[in-house]
Amino acid sequence: MAKLTVRDLNVRGKRVFLRVDYNVPLEEKDGQMVITDDTRIVETLPTLRLLSEQGGKLILVAHLGRPKGKREPSMSLRPVAAKLADLLGRPVAFVDDCLGEKVEKTIGIMQPGDVLLLENVRYYLEEEANDPGFSEKLAKLADVYVNDAFGAAHRAHASTEGVPRILAQRGGQCAAGLLMERELKFLGEELEKPAAPFVVILGGAKVSDKILVIDRLLEKANAILIGGAMAYTFRLAQGHKTGQSLVEPDKTEVARAALAKANERGVKFLLPVDDVIAVPAKTDKLNKKGKPVIEYKDVRLNHDLNCPDDAAGLDVGPATVKLYSNEIAKAKTILWNGPMGLFEDKRFAEGTYAIGKAVAEVTRKNGAKSIIGGGDSVKALKQAKLGDTVSFMSTGGGASLEFLEGKILPGVAVLNDKN
């Protein structure tokens, strides 16, 4: 059922609760938090412009990181307000809270078209708990609800689920923003009956993250191409040696079942035929998550389906790129989720970049529809400067995956249906 969208609303003079996903990557530079990728902000601009031009008073609500109910200064949305004002070319007010007197006062003096960003809603534990009292307080701030936060739509939190439910009960309209509409179109409608050949490229670290998507797409895809560390769990399932590669030994049964289903349904299911391997060594340095940084030495090509005991597989090799590119070149529809290797390290980025180029080429030459399912694959495409060459790049990570698995997203389900 299609959802009501911002195009269906009349927001003149009304207070619009606009949930956006401004959970953007930040880095500290000279004591300041700097946004390193503003895509999620840029992608909401059409919705903001439309609602502002129509005279709505825009109250933007968002989260940043996972502060777990604490006022974590590094997770403040203040730098986002400044960035948004820049991009929008108009002032954006900011209040360092999402509730209370200051917020109410600021909203009270807003004029039609004004834009206000509230502080990180996850500074309150009640947000993630979808607390009814908290939702009630937030809902009181607005007349109309708009969700443009596709990336957070898989969360049943107060700002994504509780608030719209209460507003709808009060007779307020709850609609999808333009970004939300586009995400649902490309990841939903376009993949409902995809033009054949439909080629699915899946990568990333874990089979367990992708197995539900694989299972569902085996019903529709003509070919599934596997890369990333998850390929090694498939190799393990086939009885090969995987050395130090990242594997999930408890997922070999699941991998075997996917291979069997592909066989039954006549879906081409391709695994890498060569790879780039290296010898990993733990260092004394710790990464952001407090785990030892691993250095890779002795990088080389491996043509054997078995990995040497002391080495790990980190990228697909040139023969795999050729094999996969041939499949991609025939496609009319492509869905890609997950990188082919550890692309953050240049030595292991070639495979992912080459697959990106193949996807770009079939999009340009054959008018294939290419849909990139968010997260790391989007990051990799941008790193390869191929961002503008595909039909659609999702702004969702976990949300895209859950949606592709066929799950109902609570933040979407709660919106009004179009009549």
Q: What is the binding site for ligand 3PG (CB under 6 A)?
A: 21, 23, 66, 151-152, 155, 397-398
The minimum distance between CB 339 and Mg ion, in angstroms, equals 16
CA 313 to chain centre: 25
- Among 55, 113, 387, 398, the active-site one is 398
The whole-angstrom separation of Cα 109 and Cα 59 is: 12
Please confirm, yes or no, whether 375 is among the known catalytic residues: yes
Please confirm, yes or no, whether 40 is among the known catalytic residues: yes
The minimum distance between CB 23 and ligand 3PG, in angstroms, equals 3
- Sequence-ordered alpha helix ranges (H) in 140-251: 163-169, 178-184, 190-192, 207-217, 230-237
- Among 375, 396, 397, 411, the active-site one is 375
Please confirm, yes or no, whether 364 is among the known catalytic residues: no
Contacting range for Mg ion; rule: CB under 5 A; set: 4-12, 126-134, 338-346, 390-398: 390-398
Nearer to ligand 3PG, 17 or 348 (CB): 17
**One residue of 398, 404, 414, 418 binding Mg ion per CB under 5 A:** 398
Please confirm, yes or no, whether 398 is among the known catalytic residues: yes
Contacting range for Mg ion; rule: CB under 5 A; set: 57-65, 157-165, 217-225, 389-397: 389-397
At residue 277, the 3 state secondary structure works out as: strand
The minimum distance between CB 415 and ligand 3PG, in angstroms, equals 18
The minimum distance between CB 155 and ligand 3PG, in angstroms, equals 5
Nearer to ligand 3PG, 72 or 361 (CB): 72
Contact status: 65 vs Mg ion (CB under 5 A): no
Nearer to ligand 3PG, 152 or 229 (CB): 152
Position 160: which residue type?
Answer: T
- Interior/surface letters 324-355, b for 16+ CB within 10 angstroms, e for the rest: bbebbeebbbbbbbbbbbbbeeeebbbbbbbb
- Among 14, 40, 210, 379, the active-site one is 40
**Binding partner at 245 among Mg ion, ligand 3PG, none, C-beta below 5 to 8 Å by kind:** none
- Among 49, 140, 206, 347, the active-site one is 206
At residue 29, the 3 state secondary structure works out as: strand
CA-wise closest residue to 316 among 341, 297, 345, 298:
341
Backbone angles phi, psi at 16, to 5 degrees: -105, 120
At residue 171, the 3 state secondary structure works out as: coil
The whole-angstrom separation of Cα 262 and Cα 21 is: 36
The whole-angstrom separation of Cα 327 and Cα 322 is: 9
Active site residues: 40, 206, 375, 398
Residues at the interface with Mg ion (CB under 5 A): 397-398
